[in-house]
Structure 1
Amino acid sequence: MGSKSRKIHRRRMGQFDADTSIPRKMEFHKLLIKGRKKALKYLRAFRVFIFFVLLLQIGTLPGCKIYSAFDSVLNPEWENFEQLPSGNPRLEYIHSIPVIHLYGTPAEMGTQYGTILKKQLEGLEYISTRFFPKKKINEFIHTAIEVEKHLPDEILEFLSKMAETSGVDYYKLLAVNTVPRVTCSALAVWDDATEDGNLLMGRNADYTFKRINKALGLIVVKHPENGYATVSSSFLGLAGAYTGMNEKGVSYGNMLVYNGFEDGETAGGVPVQLLMQSAAETKNSAREMIEYLTSQNHVVPVSVMCADSNEAILAELGKTNFAVREGNKGVLAASNYFYSSGMFETPETDKRFSALMLKARDHYGAFNPGHLKDAMHAARKQNETLQTVLFEPAKMLMHVSMNKVPASKGPFTTFNILELLEK
């Protein structure tokens, strides 16, 4: 090759090198932008920190009180924590998740709850007054008073003692337990659908007010004087349970429904989370629990999925009627819409419901807990999934991710229900 050819060859090689450097420069530019965004995020967090420090130094502004309230609720090591022996009412931590154990009658358990979590409940009460206008709080309380007339005595005893020992206004606690609205989704697979035939059930808990709720999740273990012990994935201040498992392996979770016939709330109904707690303490199968729930009056249209080691069943609960859906070839899913004939005003197609069904189809016959995690993550609600719970009733296991968004991403903490109930 002559000198001229070598020069041309070198020039072409140099041009090729220059061209391939463009993607590298673009990647470097993206990294700079990403780093700048992260730096701004940390700077904003630092400014917030300085703001709160200044509030503390001043000591007289309302911000000091709300900072203290947030500190009480958000502090990962709640100050009332004590490592007490098994068999005692107590708060303990399992992989950073707070777990409260309650024992005895409803009144005794309410007393224990209010005493152990007094500071956190006080903080929650104050925060709620800062997040909601007084008019809205009064509306919540008015609704709660109407519902109160129809609540079971054991729930009223629990709440009154919680209020008495915590010092939090009874009617505000009542509102917390009767007004909350949740938008969730659930999936159950079993028999031929799973790799070993064992039933798996998952539930996402989606909440709009994540600024408050994302730090309030806890596990509540109730050891009642009469009835079955229960383990629920709950929120601070709740007497009932949106999702949980009892000592018989009956697992449950509810979903608010948007396309029912009835609008508004029904006088004479009982909030479903309170009914589920009562059912969990008295029913030893999914079918028994469904039969109980379909015999009750409900405040708003909801769906409830119940499962045990043998089957999963879904109750679509209107305020004046109901329908029961059972699995098709070992698959059952639900989100925020009724699907049974005669239960809905308009049919709806929901992408979260579709995501659950597609995951069940894709892994049919080999479905395992890992696939269930993937399915619940695929069905998450953007910026709202604060708790994800996976159940294995035959093994008495409950896998929980909470107090983060999206919780469906994990990591999950595994609770052995039988071991937890022995404590």
Structure 2
Amino acid sequence: MNQIEKHWRGSRFVAALALLVVCGPTLFAEDTKSGPAAQTVARCGKGWLETIEGYPVLHLKGTPYEMGYQHGALLRDHCRQNMKSILVDKAGSLNLVEVGPLKVTPRTAIDMIVAIQQPHVAGRYFEEMEGLAAGSGQSVADVRAGNFVPELFHCSGFALAKTATKNGNMLHGRVLDYAIDWGLQDHAVVIVYEPEGRLPWVNVSYAGFIGSVTGMNAEHISVGEMGGKGLGHWNGRPMALLVRDALETAKSLDEAIATFRDGPRTCQYYYVLADGETNNAVGMEASWDVFTLILPGESHPMLSNPVKDCVLMSAGDRYQELSRQTTAGHGKFTIESALHLMDRPIAMESNLHNVLFEPATTRFWVANASSDKKPAAEQKYSSFQLSELLNRKPDSNSPELLLPQRTAGLPSEKGTRSVKGGN
């Protein structure tokens, strides 16, 4: 077992994908004035991995290739295990997928999606995936396939602001109900990005993924995604990279909206976007053929019970329960009571991760499903603040992984890694 694996396995965190989360007071990780207990695991170039109260936090900084290599090298075993679980253990056991008139294996379908969407994907993301492959010792093809899996599968979200909360601050909840049996929660990580020439941001994610479904940037913009229908409409920009583009470039709510509005999109997706500076939020459908904004308190044929100064996005009985609880608590919501809006039954049994953002302060709270497949809504929340994470520095005495210069062409299929000071 290597140095990084020892730290990871020793941590107390469990993970999953998320939208909203709800837990009782005993499940809430309190903030401490002295700062969270942290330990640097290892460094690589300008990137580094640490654990904060047991939760892995990965800091990536530099060019796309450098950030990808840092990601792959610092989370090498988890990137490899996660991709194997997704591409071999899980996708390999699924039934054939219908793609037009054809029925193909899930891996073939994923490779088709990569080919269809490649013209719409900025080259920097492929460079980052090349770096991730080199750093983790995987093939570029496998890393690409794993990162396009979200397009094969299709949650709840809310934003409470102004008169809806006790202090008037925006609270943006994101509940991710997604494939809890795939084991993603065993590889959960908070990733702090500082890309060259783009905005710093945080991604609530999993080892090996460069896209985002749950995140917030340093300009106080937060985004959460919910999948719908439309499987097969893949000729556009991948959803997870659209979310990332918004977080890396948007300094305002209007700029974030424009990222989704402009350019070709894929399947049916819904989003909640929030802006902590202006205290505004929107719900949004941004599908291959539809673009619709839903303002706070606005009615919609699919969302029949609007609540003043709130954006509520869910489906069926879960939406009705979310609306009922929001109406009952209107004007009194705090961090703790807002977390309860992500509890069961609003969150499903497949609840992978829950996140509550307070964009004005850049604070956020994360809960993940457990390794034994208990939903995120039943787990303890971990507390972070993006502005504080961006000011953190690694321990200079921690193990260092060398960051090789990028060579022409694709990286080696096996990848290389050199360690200083580690076992």
Provide the TM-score with structure 1 as the length reference.
0.74
Does residue 236 (structure 1) correspond to residue 207 (structure 2)? The answer is yes
Query: Share of identical aligned residues, percent?
Result: 27
3-state SS of paired residue (2:260): helix
Does residue 331 (structure 1) correspond to residue 310 (structure 2)? The answer is yes
Deviation of the 1:183 alpha carbon: 5.4
3-state SS of paired residue (1:98): strand
Separation in 1 of the partners of 2:45 and 2:391?
8
Deviation of the 1:252 alpha carbon: 0.7
Structure 2: 5+ residue runs without aligned partners?
A: 13-38, 94-104, 298-307, 393-423
The aligned residue for residue 268 of structure 1 is 235
Does residue 311 (structure 1) correspond to residue 270 (structure 2)? The answer is no
Separation in 1 of the partners of 2:164 and 2:83?
46
Which is strand-richer, 1 or 2? Answer: 2
Separation in 1 of the partners of 2:43 and 2:147?
30
Deviation of the 1:120 alpha carbon: 1.8
Separation in 1 of the partners of 2:181 and 2:7?
13
The aligned residue for residue 51 of structure 2 is 93
Larger radius of gyration: 1
The aligned residue for residue 253 of structure 2 is 286
The aligned residue for residue 227 of structure 1 is 198
Q: 1:210 to 1:377 in 2, by over 3 A?
A: same
Deviation of the 1:113 alpha carbon: 0.9
Deviation of the 1:240 alpha carbon: 1.3
Aligned partners of 1:141 and 1:172 also within 8 Å:
no
Separation in 1 of the partners of 2:187 and 2:197?
28
3-state SS of paired residue (1:296): coil
- Cα offsets for 1:333-374 (capped at 9, x unmatched): 1125xxxxxxxxxxxxx1111121111100111111122111
Of 36, 55, 67, the match for 1:109 = 67
Aligned partners of 2:369 and 2:377 also within 8 Å:
no
Does residue 302 (structure 1) correspond to residue 295 (structure 2)? The answer is no
Which is helix-richer, 1 or 2? Answer: 1
Matches within 5 A, 1:120-135: 120-128=78-86, 129-133=88-92, 135=105
Deviation of the 1:82 alpha carbon: 4.8
Task: Name the aligned partner's letter for residue 225 of structure 1.
Answer: E
Q: 1:72 to 1:302 in 2, by over 3 A?
A: farther
3-state SS of paired residue (2:257): helix
Separation in 2 of the partners of 1:133 and 1:184?
25
The aligned residue for residue 212 of structure 1 is 183
Separation in 1 of the partners of 2:290 and 2:345?
28
Q: 1:110 to 1:327 in 2, by over 3 A?
A: same
Aligned partners of 1:242 and 1:273 also within 8 Å:
yes
Task: Name the aligned partner's letter for residue 330 of structure 1.
Answer: D
Does residue 197 (structure 1) correspond to residue 168 (structure 2)? The answer is yes
Aligned partners of 2:180 and 2:352 also within 8 Å:
no
Task: Name the aligned partner's letter for residue 413 of structure 1.
Answer: S
Aligned partners of 1:294 and 1:315 also within 8 Å:
no
Q: 1:379 to 1:155 in 2, by over 3 A?
A: farther
3-state SS of paired residue (1:394): coil
Separation in 1 of the partners of 2:253 and 2:332?
24
Deviating above 4 A after TM superposition, structure 1's stretches of 4 or more consecutive aligned residues are 71-74, 84-87
The aligned residue for residue 421 of structure 1 is 390
The aligned residue for residue 75 of structure 1 is 9
Structure 1: 5+ residue runs without aligned partners?
A: 1-67, 337-349
- Cα offsets for 1:119-154 (capped at 9, x unmatched): 222222333413332832232222222222321111
Task: Name the aligned partner's letter for residue 231 of structure 2.
Answer: G
User: What is the aligned residue count?
Assistant: 336
The aligned residue for residue 173 of structure 1 is 143
Aligned partners of 2:46 and 2:62 also within 8 Å:
no
Task: Name the aligned partner's letter for residue 352 of structure 2.
Answer: L
3-state SS of paired residue (1:365): coil
Aligned partners of 1:92 and 1:98 also within 8 Å:
yes
Task: Name the aligned partner's letter for residue 207 of structure 2.
Answer: L
Q: 1:253 to 1:378 in 2, by over 3 A?
A: same
Q: Comparing both chains, which one has the higher relative contact order based on Cα–Cα distances under 8 Å and sequence gaps of 6 or more?
A: 2
Q: 1:86 to 1:358 in 2, by over 3 A?
A: farther
Provide the TM-score with structure 2 as the length reference.
0.74
Deviation of the 1:167 alpha carbon: 1.9
